[in-house]
Amino acid sequence: MTNENIFSGVKVVDLASFIAGPGAAVILSDFGADVIKVEPQLTEILDEVFAGQPLAHWREALDGAHITFGVVRSPAEVIDDPQLKKNDIVVPIEGAGENLKFTISSPMQVHDVTKVAARRAPEIGEHNDEVLKDLGFSAREISELRISGAIPQRLSSEEATA
């Protein structure tokens, strides 16, 4: 088998409707894959058929036929996925208030380096004093900058979200 036919014998069902999907199908076809393009009209029919049975039915049928598939989940379902939590993909977020309890962890993992816990993004100007101190400004100079209006007055978290 040459590189030109590396995907010979592979069947691909192309359900894509955006630019990268059809482009990928063309590349797979160029390398020997048998690509079956599913048009939007057929997608509508398949949506109706798949909606007619519970997920457990389709999981059993597709697994039984050795067909690789994936379930498209809503954001709420993803956040509650036990496997994603167990693998530290969905993690608690610190300091974000009552409405935001979880986030997606950074995919970067560096050997022998502990990941920093996920936390909320800072408010605008929240770290002004720390940054200015790191740049060599004294507390008096920072206060003068604040009085002059060069940097904003600190807002309480309630004022910042109002």
Residue range 87-100, pLDDT digits in tens:
888 888 887 777 78
20 pLDDT tier (thresholds 50, 70, 90) = low
116 pLDDT tier (thresholds 50, 70, 90) = confident
Sign of CA dihedral 85, 88, 91, 94: positive
Instruction: Give bridge partners of residue 47 from the DSSP assignment.
Output: none
Instruction: Give bridge partners of residue 37 from the DSSP assignment.
Output: 14
pLDDT at 161: 53
Contact 14, 35 (CB under 8 A): yes
